[in-house]
Amino acid sequence: MWNLEDGTVEHESEPGDNEEYDKETRFDEIAFVGDEWLSISISAPDEIGMWTLKTAEQVATFNLGSTAILDLAYDSHQQMLVALEPDRILRWTMSPQQWLELACARAGRNLSFDEWQRAFPDQQDEYKSARICKYPLDISFAEAKIKEAETLINDCTAEQWDEGMKLLEEAAGLPVEPQLDLDRITRAVAILGDQALEHYARNLPAYDEDARKCLEMAAKQLIEAGREGFSLETAEEVGRRQAKLTADLDDPNSLDMSTMMSDLDWLRQNKAQWPGELPSVGLEPGDEINGIVKRNQDTLYFLGEQGQAVTIRMDATGGDLDPRLYLNGSDGYFTSDDESGGGHNSLISDFVLPDNGLYRILPQAYSGEGAYRLTLDVRDLPKLEFGQTATSGIVC
């Protein structure tokens, strides 16, 4: 490439200079695309390459299969790059506006926050560049601001609270789709509650003090907002019991299910004295768990009601695992299964729970080790009253 004003060479390269091409590669036809790009048809491989005129950097490649280009031209009126092959004519739009319209039509949305950061790294505070399509701003922009606010509010200080609340206000004001339903006080107080739980989980006096600081901040902000407050002393006990219950549920050697159920009942009765939502306990009907049976034993829990029929399935999905499945209640062992699920898989089918309470599932191995998939289904059985007649569709 030469500078036409003084005849100096601006850039020089051979096919072998690019690691994608070798000595068999030929540059055949050339076309200037506007004032920005240079287009060249290439043989072996058969493709069209695009380079910038200013930096001679290759920016795009159009693969043509195994057909050579006879001629290459640029239609400046239509902003089309035209390639002539032996049996057809190919056209590519070279209009950035048309590229944008095509991309918007295919995506049916604007850029997500992560996509926008990659595409516009120098415009981190100008969301206008994120609305390049005629669609609302993606909800991930509001979620990013909420995440940033959480980091500030987690500090549990007045200064960081104020900064975090500003970000939550900005998030609530963004014209996103789907529309964001955000109660700033409720969300911020819940963030403080979650942070307090993290402190209690460390089970050290210094972290208990940090947890109390977060709870004090939550109580203060609720009162200032004219919302119903909570008992700080009760909230502290809720936090400690929740942290202990979570640790017990995660401990495969924890056998005192009666104490865990007692803690769970107490937490249910006092959950209103906690800022935010307490974590859910155990599996829910329809949940699917993927795990690995090795030395460490997985321990799974669910809450059941007397008379419900429970079906638990454990399928081996990797290794040489031969599954064995156990179901325990607070009174100890109830039932197990080895191969009722077909092959070496385990299935406990329609086991009727004898009591209300906490139940434990132990996915183990009869032999071997490896990955497994476990599913839990719970259904309520029909209840019959004395004197009621039931009909059956069973054919003997």
Q: Same domain for 355 and 252? A: no
Q: What are phi and psi of 56, to 5 degrees?
A: 55, 30
Domain membership of residue 72 (yes or no) is yes
What pLDDT does 45 receive? 63
Mean pLDDT across 254-281: 89
Looking at the domain assignment, is residue 110 inside a domain?
no
Task: Say what the alpha-carbon torsion angle 203, 207, 211, 216 is, to the nearest 10 degrees.
Answer: 140
- In the prediction, which pLDDT does 167 show? 96
**Which domain range does residue 169 map to?**
141-273
Q: Give the separation between CA 130 and CA 117, rounded to whole angstroms.
A: 9
> Are residue 249 and residue 184 in the same domain, yes or no?
yes
Buried b (16+ CB within 10 A) or exposed e, 79-103: bbbebebeeeebebebeeeeeeeee
Whole-number pLDDT of residue 396:
42
The 3-class secondary structure across 327-346, one letter per residue, is EEECCEEEEEECCCCCCCCE
Same domain, 295 and 209: no
pLDDT of residue 32: 79
250 and 359 co-located in one domain: no
Specify whether 147 is located in the same domain as 244.
yes
- Are both 164 and 267 inside the same structural domain? yes
Those residues with Cβ within 8 angstroms of residue 163's Cβ, 6 or more apart along the chain or in another chain:
152
Same domain, 265 and 293: no
Cβ(18)–Cβ(29) below 8 Å: no
CA-to-CA distance for 359 and 329, rounded, in angstroms?
A: 5
pLDDT-above-70 percentage for the chain:
87
Whole-model pTM: value is 0.70
245-257 mean pLDDT: 82
The pLDDT confidence band at residue 44, using thresholds 50, 70 and 90, is: low
In a domain, 61, yes or no: yes
Structure confidence by residue, pLDDT tens digits, 178-211: 888 899 999 999 999 999 999 999 999 999 999 9
| pLDDT beyond 60 at 287 | yes
pLDDT per residue over 325-341, tens digit each? 999 887 777 899 998 99
At residue 83's C-alpha, the angle toward residues 80 and 86, to 5°, is 150
Burial of 172 (0-12, 13-18, 19+ CB in 10 A): middle
Residues 84 and 206 both lie in one domain: no
Are both 264 and 147 inside the same structural domain? yes
Task: Give the model confidence (pLDDT) of 304-323 as tens digits.
Answer: 999 999 999 999 999 999 99
Domain-ending residue, one of 78, 94, 110: 94
**pLDDT tens per residue, range 127-173:** 777 888 888 999 999 999 999 999 999 999 999 999 999 999 999 99
The string of DSSP letters for 261-272 reads HHHHHHHHHHGG
Confidence class for position 125, pLDDT limits 50, 70, 90: low
Overall number of domains in the chain? 3
- Dig out the tokens for 352 from the structure: 């009727």
Residue that terminates a domain, selected from 273, 305, 322: 273
